[in-house]
Amino acid sequence: MRSPFDLGGRTAIVTGANTGLGQAIAVALAQAGAGIVAVGRSSMAETKVLVGATGQPFHEIAADLATLEPIARIVEEAEAAAKANGSRLDILVNNAGIIRRADALDFTEADWDAVMDVNLKSTFFLTQGVAKRMLADGKGGKVINIASLLSFQGGIRIPSYTASKSGLAGLTRLLACEWAGKGINVNAIAPGYFVTNNTEALRADPVRNEAILARIPAGHWGQPQELGGAAVFLASDAAAYVHGVVLPVDGGWLAR
């Protein structure tokens, strides 16, 4: 009997798959049987090796999601890669994101727009493009947005990041309402404090690092591979009746 967590024969697009959380999610999905189409703006050589070790197909698409320019190309190339492996576009993981830090009084329009364009605008239009392909054959699919604890909380010194991740949580619920009856599950994962490039400044600040660790019941920063199980679950048949959820994976942070 096939496990409900088995992703064999499916293809997943993972944005921002070159490093950190995106890379870990891509590897976890591949370990569960999915072929990977990795989208990123820098080298994905390491991700290719890690996915290759699972024996699953890997296709790389170089693209910068700072604008909408590459959206159509990503969808078309990803679909072609899936078909070449006898599959289709079954899963989309919207992980690509950026962050800018400054006091709200000093925050610039350029930093606001840069974050919103990648984290929210490109995410929506890539999802729109992929969903059209998922619906074309009536087989639906899975969309997983990578939200944040800042989808629930305010934070400090990251106004556009908080706004974008709060917006992404709302967008997740809206798309779930529109598409659940059409066979597309739209959910989100809200990572806590993980060891990634985005948190390097926090981890390097002794005061902030100590304060953050003091609030995490698990007692440590999350490692990227600790996010993979949640992604596999939401991408699988085990989550067939899960719609519009923003699932925290935070070491207990929100429970504190």
Q: Which residue among 58, 161, 179, 221 is the active-site one? A: 161
Residue 192 to residue 254: CA distance in whole angstroms:
9
Q: Is position 161 annotated as part of the catalytic site?
A: yes
Task: Give the sheet arrangement for strand 141-146, strand by strand.
Answer: 58-62, 35-40, 11-15, 89-94, 141-146, 184-191, 246-249
Residue 27 to residue 116: CA distance in whole angstroms:
27
The position carrying tokens 């703006």 is 41
Residue 14 to residue 11: CA distance in whole angstroms:
10
Residue 44 to residue 15: CA distance in whole angstroms:
11
- The CB-based long-range contact list for 169-175 (8 Å cut-off, 24+ gap) reads 169/246, 171/120, 171/123, 171/124, 171/145, 172/145, 172/147, 172/244, 172/246, 173/244, 173/246, 175/127, 175/131, 175/143
Q: Give the residue numbers marked as catalytic.
A: 161
